[in-house]
Chain A
Amino acid sequence: MFRNIAVPLAAILAFLLFWEGIVWINDWPNYKMASPSDLPPAFYKFRWLFLEMGWQTLWRTVAGLGLAVLVGTLLGMAMGFSRIARDALYPLLVGFNAIPKATLVPVIALLFIGQHDFNTVLMAFMISFFPIAVSVGIGLSTLEPEYRDILRALGASKVTIFRKIALPKTLPEFFGALKVSVTLAFIGTNLVEIVSPHGRGLGALFKSGETNGDYPLMFAVLIALAFLGIVLYYAVVALERIFAGWAERPQS
Chain B
Amino acid sequence: MQGRPHFRKGARQLTNLIEIKGVTHAYQTASGPLQVLENLNLSIPEGEFAAVVGPSGCGKSTLTRLVAGLMKPDQGEVWLHGEIVKSPRKTVGMAYQNPVLLEWRTILENVILPLEIVAPLMPRQDRVARAMELLELVGLIDFEHKRPSELSGGMRQRASLCRAIVHKPEVLIMDEPFGALDAFTREDLWQTMRDLRAKEPFTCVLITHDLRESVFLGDQVFVMSGRPGTTQHVLDVDLPADRTIDVLYTPEATDMLHLLRDQIRIAQGRDGEVH
Contact = CB atoms under 8 A, between A and B. Distances in A.
Contacts of A154: 88, 90, 92, 114, 117-118, 167
Contacts of B231: none
A150 B94 contact: yes
A45 interface: no
A146 B98 contact: yes
B117 A144 contact: no
- Nearest 10 CB-CB pairs, A to B? A246-B104, A153-B68, A146-B100, A154-B117, A155-B88, A156-B117, A168-B104, A153-B94, A146-B96, A153-B88
A164 to B, nearest CB: 7
Given A149-B70, A153-B69, A165 B98 contact: no
Contact of A155 (B89, B96, B147): B89
B98 A155 contact: no
Contacts of B118: 154
Contact of B100 (A147, A152, A156, A249): A147
Interface of B: 65, 68-70, 87-90, 92-94, 96, 98, 100, 102-104, 113-114, 116-118, 147, 149-150, 163, 167, 173
Given A151-B117, A153-B69, A155-B89, A247 B103 contact: yes
Nearest to B68: A153
A169 B89 CA distance: 25
Nearest to A161: B117
A82 interface: no
Interface string A156-175: 10001000110011010000
Contact of B147 (A152, A160, A244, A246): A246
Contacts of B93: 153
A155 B113 contact: no
Nearest to B175: A146
Nearest to B95: A150
Nearest to B91: A154
Contacts of B87: 155
Interface of A: 144, 146-147, 149-156, 160, 164-165, 168-169, 171, 244, 246-247, 249-250
Contacts of B167: 154
Given A146-B96, A154-B114, A246 B88 contact: no
B255 to A, nearest CB: 36
Given A164-B113, A168-B102, A247-B103, A152 B88 contact: yes
- Chain B CB count within 10 A is highest, among A169, A244, A246, A247, for A246
A165 B101 CA distance: 10
A249 B88 contact: no
A152 B149 contact: no
Contact of B149 (A156, A160, A249): A249
A156 B89 CA distance: 9
Nearest to B97: A146
B60 to A, nearest CB: 15
A9 to B, nearest CB: 32
B117 A165 contact: no
A160 B117 contact: yes
15 contacts: A149-B65, A149-B70, A150-B94, A150-B114, A150-B163, A152-B88, A153-B92, A153-B93, A153-B94, A153-B173, A154-B92, A165-B102, A246-B103, A247-B103, A249-B149
Contacts of B103: 246-247
A249 B102 CA distance: 14
B94 A149 contact: yes
B149 A250 contact: yes
A45 to B, nearest CB: 50
Given A164-B116, A249-B149, 9 more contacts: A147-B102, A152-B70, A153-B68, A153-B69, A153-B70, A153-B93, A155-B89, A246-B103, A246-B147
A215 B107 CA distance: 59
A251 B94 CA distance: 32
B93 to A, nearest CB: 8
A247 B69 CA distance: 32
B160 to A, nearest CB: 9
Nearest to B163: A150
Contacts of B98: 144, 146
B134 to A, nearest CB: 16
B106 to A, nearest CB: 9
B88 A250 contact: no
- Chain A CB count within 10 A is highest, among B93, B104, B113, B167, for B104
Contacts of A247: 103-104
Nearest to A151: B117
Given A155-B117, A246-B147, A249-B149, A150 B100 contact: yes
Contacts of B94: 149-150, 153
Contacts of A164: 102, 113, 116
